[in-house]
Every structure is written in C-alpha cells, then in structure tokens.
Amino acid sequence: MDYSAKIASNVAAIPRSGIRDFFELVQGRDDVISLGVGEPDFVTPWHIREAAIYSLEKGQTTYTSNLGLLSLRKSISKYVENFFHVNYDPAREVLVTVGVSEAIDIALRALLNPGDEVIFHEPCYVSYSPSIVMAHGVAVPVVTTKEDEFSLKPEAVAAVITPRTRIIFINFPTNPTGACASRADLEGIAKLAIEHDLIVMTDEIYSELRYDDTEPHLSIASLPGMKERTILLHGFSKAFAMTGFRLGYACAPQPIIEAMMKIHQYAMLCAPIMSQNAAIEALENGHAAMIEMRNSYHQRRDFLVKRLNEIGLDCHTPGGAFYVFPDIRSTGLTSKEFAMRLLEEENVACVPGSAFGPSGEGFLRCCYATAFDDIRTATDRIERFVGRL
C-alpha cells in the first residue's frame, strides 16, 4: 500500500523532532555523557513521589473531573497568584493537562482556523512550529539573535503582524537559549497584542529557574489589560523534576478554557489522578526542594559558561532554564557536524542548534541538568575536540 497517500498532508509535512532523532544515535553507546535531553537529573523529591504512592494506596485510581481535581486547581490558583500575581478562578479558569505539551496543542487547536497565523520567537522549543501546523495554522517565526541575547523585540513582532495574525506565542525563560524577557520588551509585546486584538500564549515552564535575583520572573499575564487575552501555560516537569508524571496546566479566561477543555475531554479525558495528587504535594510543600535544585543548576550554569568561553566557544550567560547555547561558528562546522563528531569522537551528546529552527544553526544546545562531575568531564572532552579541529 502507498501509505504516503494515506497520511494527512499537514502531518506528512512536519519533521520528526531533531532532539529525538539525535538521541536515537546515543542509545546503545557506552560512556556517553549527555548534555542533551532537557530533563532534570534529579529524581522527583521523595515527598512528592510518596504522595503519588499514597494516592494509589488509598485506591484513588479513577478518572477525575475533565478539568482536573478541584483541590489541585485550587492549589494551582493559589500558586499562580503568589508567583505570577494573577488571579484565576479554580472552578472556571484552570485546566489540568497532560504536560505543557498537551496544553500547547489544545490551546492552538481551540483558537486557530485554517490559515490563521501564529507569531513565535526562534530558536524555540521543537514542538511549537509542528503544533501550529498540526492545528492548521501558519507558523510565523521571528528570529532572535545572540547579539540581543535572544530577547524578543516588540519591533520585530510588529513587523510580521498581518490581518491573519491570531496569536503571539512566547516562552521565557527560553528553551534552547535560556533567554529571559525584560519588562520593557514584555510591555511592548503586550501593547501590540492589545492594539491588534491578539491572544498571547505564554509557556512559562522554566519560570522558577531564574538565576539572577536582580530581575525576578515577570509573566506577561500580569501586565495591565493582559489577563483577558493571555493563556498562561505551566507545568511540573522542570522545576519539580516531574517529567514522567506528565502534568501541566493552562490558566486563561473561561471561554478559552471551555474550548480547550472540549478537546481535552474527547482526546485525553483527564490527567492521571496519582500525578494530580503528587502535583498538589509539589505545590503545597515542594518549595524547599525546588530551591535546592535551582541552586545546584545555578552553580552548574556558571561553571559551564566559564568553561565554554575558555575553550573559545563564545557563550552568553543565560538568565534562566537549564540550557546554554554556545556559538560554534568559529569551528567552521555546522551544528549537526559538530554534534555528530563530538558524539563519535568524544562521547559527549549535545543537541545541534538547528534542531530548534533554522536560526539555531551555528549554535549548540547544552543542557546542564547533568551531574557536576559529568559536566566537568564533558567540557574537558569538548576542549580536546575543539583543540583538534
């Protein structure tokens, strides 16, 4: 059978994730140090795991409300109010999802008609452009540059707004660059959204992982006039080291949550109840463990940035997330060649910048959610590799 004729054209058109493809090469190799997959090296804190176990012990093995347990939505609402300074009604304005991944997908599907445009900044998380295309939208990337520390300038956004623009989609701190947004840039983007009557989707999954106390995290949802046009996406994977629990949430005005919930209820029904119980524990009692992990990432960031610059790979100091994004253009290799040869010759896995969009070419993503000793050894190996080029 000719299966190519059976696959939907918008799905056939999207590439597989460059991260996953690359990591299939890593499987089965011994002694590889991975600065690759963006996943905490910490096991989920014990008291959070215990909450999941306790949930099972109590026989809580059922579906929950489609929106998620009300007790969890109350905890989310309280947490978001304390941390982001925006107030959401837990009964109507919060939806618990299967990771931020699902929240991105259903938000786009809920809002886009075929041909509607979504502006986002690139290099960016691998799912953004494919998720827009799968929702029959048109992906409109705005390239951010090393010279601007990968910040998103309102002028660059303004330049690509058209009558078909529906959404501005932002992610700060950013995967893969670690970039953070300044208040002025967020205010400029908010002004554009209001002037052009656009929705803003903001993926703030790394918001707790900020390292420079001078500028605390600011959510665009908290700016004047923005709550009514913002979908705030957040989850538990990164700050609480809960990737395997597959839990995230969206906070937004009730009609948007209602539209997202309709897709969620037919496609997913609800998030797993034991993960939801663990998430309540994370929000209510997980702060100390989260700060401990963050402090450890902070030390690793400083070490890795220093070493990469010593090696001659120009690397800015990112304000958040757990990635650095060194410039490898001085080596004369493409990012894929660099990453492949580094893996083959020195057993260090990093992700080619091109996996995060064409504008990531010439860069490498190194994740420092990896044991300190491994980061030290990896940088020694990178130094040896670059020295040989």
* Shortest Å, Cβ 2 to ligand PLP: 34
Q: Which is nearer to ligand PLP, 137 or 173 (CB)?
A: 173
Q: Which is nearer to ligand PLP, 203 or 281 (CB)?
A: 203
Q: Which is nearer to ligand PLP, 123 or 188 (CB)?
A: 123
Q: Is 114 helix (H, G, I), strand (E, B) or coil?
A: coil
Does residue 251 contact residue 222 with C-beta atoms inside 8 Å?
A: no
From CA 76, how far away is CA 3, in angstroms rounded?
A: 44
Q: Which is nearer to ligand PLP, 230 or 331 (CB)?
A: 230
Q: Which is nearer to ligand PLP, 68 or 331 (CB)?
A: 68
Question: Which residues, including other chains, have CB under 8 Å from residue 65's CB and lie 6 or more apart?
Answer: 270
Q: Which is nearer to ligand PLP, 189 or 205 (CB)?
A: 205
| Closest by Cα among 315, 346, 343, 341 to 328 | 315
Q: Which is nearer to ligand PLP, 151 or 237 (CB)?
A: 237
Q: Contact residues for ligand PLP (CB under 6 A)?
A: 38, 99-101, 125, 171, 175, 203, 205, 235, 237, 243, 248
* Shortest Å, Cβ 313 to ligand PLP: 22
| Closest by Cα among 128, 125, 82, 122 to 107 | 128
* Shortest Å, Cβ 37 to ligand PLP: 8
* Shortest Å, Cβ 175 to ligand PLP: 4
* Shortest Å, Cβ 311 to ligand PLP: 26
H/E stretch holding 277 reads helix 273-285
b vs e for 277-288, b when ≥16 Cβ sit within 10 Å of the residue's Cβ?
bbbbbbbeebee
Distance of CA 28 to the CA centre of its chain: 27
* Shortest Å, Cβ 296 to ligand PLP: 19
Ramachandran angles phi, psi of 249, nearest 5°:
-160, 160
* Shortest Å, Cβ 104 to ligand PLP: 7
Does residue 116 contact residue 166 with C-beta atoms inside 8 Å?
A: yes
Q: Using omega within 30 degrees of 0 as the cis cutoff, is the peptide bond preceding 141 cis? A: no
Does residue 210 contact residue 180 with C-beta atoms inside 8 Å?
A: yes
Encoded tokens for 92: 């109507």
* Shortest Å, Cβ 356 to ligand PLP: 10
Q: Which is nearer to ligand PLP, 125 or 338 (CB)?
A: 125
Could you give the C-alpha distances from 286 to 248, 318, 380, in angstroms and in order? Answer: 16, 25, 35
Ramachandran angles phi, psi of 308, nearest 5°:
-65, -40
From CA 312, how far away is CA 330, in angstroms rounded?
A: 8
- Closest residue to ligand PLP, judged by C-beta, is 99
